[in-house]
Amino acid sequence: MQCPNADGELEQKIHQKEGLVITYHQCPVCDGSWLDAFNTNYLKTEDIPQTSDEPTSAAPIQPTCPVCNEALTITHGDNIPQNVQTWKCPNNHGYFFPKGELFKFKRAQEAKINYFKLWSIPLPNVASVLLAIFIFFIVSASLVNVGQRQIYQLQAQNILQFQEAFVADTSVTIAATTTSKTTATLHIGPYEQSMQTKDYILHTLFLSHLTGGTYEYFFTFLIDGKTVRSNTFTFIIQ
């Protein structure tokens, strides 16, 4: 895989923590980093080697995507600070961060999450913190004749890409990302509530005034008129 800056081959970096494997690519010449949205969101700042802010080589006028060779574009938004230089593939293959920019982005992202947790403020929208995740599946023609039940089992297994409960005092913000567009319902004990959604990919729900204890919860998703259920997760209110 070639560096978007045309500086040569990218080197793959792998980090594994608590069963979650994070991978990204870094250029040994310009120190730029190439990641998809999922790995960008869940890479930790301590896993990123810090470098000086001075670039090692002049950036080209137009960097290109190492997957599809399309021209990358500078991107900003609620989830990307104006002082962070981030290039995005128009076909959603990933993001390119020039030297030092990935560390700046992750530091800003984590600071924003910690701010909401510290002040017990619900996330206005998970999209204001996380990069939108786009995942595409290619299904072989040989699967056309499999039973409908097998299809739903596969969808139930793969629909939930990521979930996390952000606990602050007696409140919790539960965020989830799904691998395809769907509605999501959160179930805690005998209660259930529809989650707010952004583009039917990013889902969030804020709950407050909870008593202390361990809470079990799971998600259900509506796929082709069928309801599928996720595994069960827990969070603790002290």
For the chain, the distance separating the N- and C-terminal CA atoms, rounded to the nearest angstrom, is 47
Q: What is the pLDDT of residue 123?
A: 55
pLDDT in tens, 70-125: 999 999 877 888 899 999 999 888 999 999 999 999 999 888 877 766 776 655 55
Q: What is the pLDDT of residue 35?
A: 92
> For tokens 């017990």, what's the residue?
120
The pLDDT mean for the chain works out to 78
Q: What is the pTM of this model?
A: 0.57
Q: What is the pLDDT of residue 15?
A: 81
Q: How far is CA 126 from the centre of its chain?
A: 10
The DSSP call for residue 43 is: -
DSSP string for residues in 206-221: EE-SPPSEEEEEEEEE
Q: Which stretches of 129-238 are DSSP H helices?
A: 148-158
Domain architecture of the chain: domains with CATH: 11-114 (no CATH), 121-237 (2.60.40.10)
pLDDT for residue 139 is more than 50: no
Q: What is the pLDDT of residue 37?
A: 80
pLDDT in tens, 7-57: 899 999 988 765 557 789 999 999 999 998 878 877 888 888 776 555 544
pLDDT for residue 151 is more than 80: no
